[in-house]
Structure 1
Amino acid sequence: MSVDNTSGDPRPEDFRSGRPILFRNATVLTMDPALGELSGGDVLVRDTRIEQVGRELAAPDDAVVVDATGGILMPGMVDTHRHMWQTALRGLGADWTLSQYFVFYYLNWGKIFRPEDIHAGNVLSAIEALDAGVTTTVDWSHGLRTPEHGDAAVQALRSVPGRYVLAYGNLLGAPWEWANSPEFRAFVSRHFTVRDDMLGLQLAFDVTGDEAFPEKAAFEAARDLGLPVTTHAGVWGATDDKGIRLMWENGFMTPSTTYVHSATLSEDSYQRIAASGGTVSVSTESEQSAGQGYPPTWRLRRHGIPVSLSMDTSVWWSGDLFSAMRATLSADRSREHLEAQASGETVVHNALRARQVVEWATIGGARALGLDASIGSLTPGKKADLVLIKNDRSPVMFPLLHPYGHVVFQAGRGDVHTVLVNGTVVKHRHELTGIDLDRARTEVTATVEYARREMGEEAWQQALEPEIPETERIHNPYGYADYRGEGVAVRGRQD
């Protein structure tokens, strides 16, 4: 007999038994153009894969049935750029600028992080991602100062049941040196001789624009190892069009390259990215707050450049792609309105729609990673990475009139009911399953205490509360002026 939650939700042990799972009566956003959107839809998962998508599917005798009525079933989300190790210092940099971020990690304190601190941050970040329905995360891991740091990153990602890509980087080292070192090659052999789709590998480094192009040797190492490259491009004050030109002239712009931010590039650079088939990872909350440049989706759309979404780092923001979708749609529309109004015109039709932003958070991310044949849509035969958004206790979850708009503007991590990765239930009824949150808390607590001790209390407080520049007040000509009207005198004053 199948277990049907009309009389009570399945228990965690029911899912662990390896039985088929049938999601019943959801609004299904397949993100597959051939299947579209299904109201009152069902999805059957068997082992690691999606077996059927349709309506009124027959439940196998041994199936666990999840009543998804009133919920939205969609593919697991994909974050293509997250500095996971920094999650151990969650929220520390809430008031930082990008310059203060660089000073903290690149100049002052990046060197103090030990392998166990990388491990602690990665574990917490991985758990945070799953809790928010992000089933695949690119760990833009530029804190790997030694192979031992890299080992710790891998061990952490292997310990949490999500899908990951380790983007190996070292913010304190020269990429042309560490990418070609025997130690790094040994690391690759140790962990990635046999490739699997639960943990992939990329190289993560930036191109400074030095005409000598020292990064060429790092690109050659990536080519030799058959690894994609992810790079911060178009970051105000850090990376610019010169880096893109050097990559182009030396033949290193490929379809597998991810350009993160890409917010301050020229039209020529966008054309090079488009021509080479590259993709851009947009981190809207980061770009708006830290200062990389205005989120560039309005320009990327015009060039036909594929977009994926990312959260960047929890040292500032959440690890929540609901926030990313909402901020991205709002920023794009805001830019369209401002551009039109500057010309005395009015936008009467939004160019970017909610559905497209949901695509960027799912199948768009999968395409950027070259995983779209396996994940990113609820297509029979693909891996069962999926998210059920359902919250019967919330007044925000009804009425459900525009499903894509609901995902972007109404839903949040608290509405994530069930999450599957590779067919395994990692969250159900809003509770993580099979994950040791207490151990993660203990590890992160040790890292915070260590970092605070190493930095010293003064530096710690400066990081929490960076200096606020003085703001010159604008003179108000209406202050201390008499206003007379209809025989009534009113004296205003400027406090």
Structure 2
Amino acid sequence: MATSIPAAHPEDFTPGRPVVFRNATVITVDTPGIIQGGDVLIADDKIVSVGVGLAVPEGTVEIDATGGILMPGMVDTHRHMWQTALRGYGGDWALSQYFVFYYLQHGQVFRPEDIYAGNLLSALESVDTGVTTTLDWSHALRTPDYADAAVQAFKEIPGRFVLGYGNYLGAPWEWTADPTFRTWVKNHPQTDMLGLQIAFDVPDSEDFPEKAAFDFARDNGLRATTHAGVWGATTDVGLGHMYKAGVMTDQITYVHSATLSPDSYHKIAATGGTVSVSTESEQSAGQGYPSTWELRKYGIPASLSMDTSVWWSADFFSAMRATLSSDRSREHLEAQAKGDTVNVNQLRAEDVIWMATMGGAKSLGMEGKIGSITPGKKADLLLIKNDQSPAMTPILNPTAHVVYQAGTADIHTVVVDGRVLKFDGKRIGLDIAPARDAVAKSVEYVRSQLGEEAWEEGMHPELTPTERIPNPYGYQDEE
């Protein structure tokens, strides 16, 4: 006979008090895989034990996870968090319009406080939606004051973050050599809760001035993240320079990597690099076809990312679903082009869950700390449970259920570093008002700087006239 589990309450989650999830379907993303009716005990900031019917210390808070799925917190390896203040503004953009808006026209009007506002809202959204670790691809940090503003937002939201320091208005070999930047890096010690990388791109050129930035990263023990294989922007030429210079290592993450040659994929695989796939971005903006179907051929580890909320949401269920669907769609198209039929899908739900968790951890160099429900790792957990949702019953295939059935509305509990930040669908002590108000002020300022005409034009790009293909049978609306 099952033992009833006393109801937990938000006030029960006091610092240092152990917490146990009871009777969950546990997706460990590790050995032993999926545990039916499983328990997970956490204490302080660590996962203590995983099993069935665990004995726990007296005073442990018990969370009834019956009917729910417990999985590791998700990891986003590439999000321009500062752009969240303009959420949805560029929903109809192509990539060229994004470049024009931010790089050539209006990105320069952003102040440090605008970076802070976007980061604050994005950070809150991350933990609210079960993304417990996020890399902020922050390429608008024109001075260390901007970086301080970005970091301040992370200090106010108790998630796990990595700042990818970038500067789209400056050349990476110049800003990484700037004494003020170097002093900022020296005074910015990395922690488990706030890491640091450098973020910049390698466009085509005859020489390779970006080598100086890679050398700086290596000399300072920093990983680097770069947009690669982006149609018309970053090609095989840049990777060729990187490989020849010896800077392609396992410390590099290549974002998108959607339009590379077989030789470039071989180089990434041979040097231990990882790829961050932003499927919704690649499908809509035009970087190239989402690359998981190519990466699998070369054995390149993939992680997932949402890119920017100026276009898309921060919904990682959507990222997993889109990635699995795009990979399968390409497999079918490739087979059918040869007159063949796909009888078995090679990419499975469990694979994209791995990308969303352990793949992200590997991309950040944190696979020993996060990404799976493993004793000794950090307690970053996500409980998907919604007793009133028709989509949450029955749970027959847990990994497929996470990817194709569950959604952000089904997030019951979020734990980061052992701290319960969300319980029973509600955040604990994390009101939206500060982020909402900061973003409202930022939007008002940016809009005033652009002017109403430019604001509206930027949001609604002019359509190119198109004509219907001639129909030999005629169209009904033709005379």
Which TM-score tier does this pair reach, normalised by the shorter chain?
A: over 0.9
The alignment status of 1:58 with 2:62, answered yes or no, reads no
What is residue 188 of structure 1 aligned with on the other side? 185
- Aligned partner of 2:205: which letter? D
Calculate the TM-score normalised by the size of structure 1.
Answer: 0.95
Give the CA RMSD over aligned residues.
1.2
User: 1:11-50 residue pairs with structure 2 within 5 A?
Assistant: 11-32=9-30, 34-50=31-47
What is residue 204 of structure 2 aligned with on the other side? 209
CA deviation profile, 1:185-214 (whole Å, cap 9, x unmatched): 11112222xx31111110100001212111
CA deviation profile, 1:442-484 (whole Å, cap 9, x unmatched): 000000000100000011101221111111111111127xxxx
User: 1:447-486 residue pairs with structure 2 within 5 A?
Assistant: 447-479=442-474
Q: Is the CA contact (8 Å cut-off) linking 1:88 and 1:121 kept in structure 2?
A: yes
Q: Is the CA contact (8 Å cut-off) linking 1:209 and 1:246 kept in structure 2?
A: no
What is residue 360 of structure 1 aligned with on the other side? 355
How many angstroms does 1:60 deviate by?
2.0
Query: Residue 150 of structure 1 is aligned with which of 143, 147, 151?
Result: 147
How many angstroms does 1:6 deviate by?
3.9
CA distance in structure 2 between the aligned counterparts of 1:196 and 1:438, rounded to whole angstroms: 28
CA 1:5 to 1:172, structure 2 compared with 1: closer, same or farther past 3 Å?
farther
- Aligned partner of 2:210: which letter? E
- Aligned partner of 2:452: which letter? E
What SS does the corresponding residue of 2:187 show, helix, strand or coil? Answer: helix
How many angstroms does 1:16 deviate by?
2.3
The alignment status of 1:384 with 2:382, answered yes or no, reads no
What is residue 102 of structure 1 aligned with on the other side? 99
CA distance in structure 2 between the aligned counterparts of 1:46 and 1:23, rounded to whole angstroms: 12
The alignment status of 1:413 with 2:408, answered yes or no, reads yes
CA distance in structure 1 between the aligned counterparts of 2:440 and 2:432, rounded to whole angstroms: 12
What is residue 138 of structure 1 aligned with on the other side? 135
Query: Residue 240 of structure 1 is aligned with which of 235, 242, 245?
Result: 235
The alignment status of 1:312 with 2:289, answered yes or no, reads no
Structure 2: state its 5+ residue gaps. none
What SS does the corresponding residue of 2:378 show, helix, strand or coil? Answer: coil
Q: Is the CA contact (8 Å cut-off) linking 1:5 and 1:66 kept in structure 2?
A: no
What SS does the corresponding residue of 1:223 show, helix, strand or coil? Answer: helix
What is residue 264 of structure 2 aligned with on the other side? 269
- Aligned partner of 1:19: which letter? R
How many angstroms does 1:17 deviate by?
4.2
How many angstroms does 1:72 deviate by?
0.2
Q: Is the CA contact (8 Å cut-off) linking 1:5 and 1:65 kept in structure 2?
A: no
What is residue 215 of structure 2 aligned with on the other side? 220
- Aligned partner of 1:176: which letter? W
The alignment status of 1:337 with 2:332, answered yes or no, reads yes
Calculate the TM-score normalised by the size of structure 2.
Answer: 0.98
- Aligned partner of 1:268: which letter? D
CA deviation profile, 1:380-422 (whole Å, cap 9, x unmatched): 1111000000001100000000100001001111111000000
Once the two structures are overlaid, the 10-residue window that deviates more, 432-441 or 163-172, is 432-441
What SS does the corresponding residue of 2:435 show, helix, strand or coil? Answer: helix
What is residue 426 of structure 1 aligned with on the other side? 421
CA distance in structure 1 between the aligned counterparts of 2:103 and 2:388, rounded to whole angstroms: 45
CA distance in structure 2 between the aligned counterparts of 1:56 and 1:352, rounded to whole angstroms: 33
Of all paired residues, the percent bearing the same amino acid is: 65
CA distance in structure 1 between the aligned counterparts of 2:306 and 2:333, rounded to whole angstroms: 25
Once the two structures are overlaid, the 10-residue window that deviates more, 51-60 or 135-144, is 51-60
User: 1:119-138 residue pairs with structure 2 within 5 A?
Assistant: 119-138=116-135
CA distance in structure 2 between the aligned counterparts of 1:180 and 1:35, rounded to whole angstroms: 48
The alignment status of 1:91 with 2:98, answered yes or no, reads no
Q: Is the CA contact (8 Å cut-off) linking 1:298 and 1:335 kept in structure 2?
A: yes
What is residue 175 of structure 1 aligned with on the other side? 172
- Aligned partner of 1:59: which letter? V
The alignment status of 1:441 with 2:421, answered yes or no, reads no
How many angstroms does 1:18 deviate by?
2.6
**Larger Cα-atom Rg:** 1
Query: Residue 112 of structure 1 is aligned with which of 109, 112, 137?
Result: 109
How many angstroms does 1:157 deviate by?
1.1
What SS does the corresponding residue of 1:362 show, helix, strand or coil? Answer: helix
- Aligned partner of 1:15: which letter? F
CA deviation profile, 1:264-313 (whole Å, cap 9, x unmatched): 00000000000000000000000000000000111100100000000000
What is residue 298 of structure 1 aligned with on the other side? 293
What is residue 77 of structure 1 aligned with on the other side? 74
CA distance in structure 2 between the aligned counterparts of 1:317 and 1:326, rounded to whole angstroms: 14
What SS does the corresponding residue of 1:384 show, helix, strand or coil? Answer: coil
CA distance in structure 2 between the aligned counterparts of 1:434 and 1:383, rounded to whole angstroms: 21
CA 1:395 to 1:184, structure 2 compared with 1: closer, same or farther past 3 Å?
same
CA distance in structure 1 between the aligned counterparts of 2:108 and 2:470, rounded to whole angstroms: 46
What is residue 488 of structure 1 aligned with on the other side? none
The alignment status of 1:256 with 2:251, answered yes or no, reads yes
What is residue 484 of structure 1 aligned with on the other side? none
CA distance in structure 2 between the aligned counterparts of 1:390 and 1:239, rounded to whole angstroms: 42
What SS does the corresponding residue of 1:26 show, helix, strand or coil? Answer: strand
CA distance in structure 1 between the aligned counterparts of 2:194 and 2:421, rounded to whole angstroms: 17
What is residue 485 of structure 1 aligned with on the other side? none
- Aligned partner of 2:58: which letter? D
Q: How many residues align?
A: 477
- Aligned partner of 1:91: which letter? G
User: 1:275-286 residue pairs with structure 2 within 5 A?
Assistant: 275-286=270-281
What SS does the corresponding residue of 2:420 show, helix, strand or coil? Answer: strand
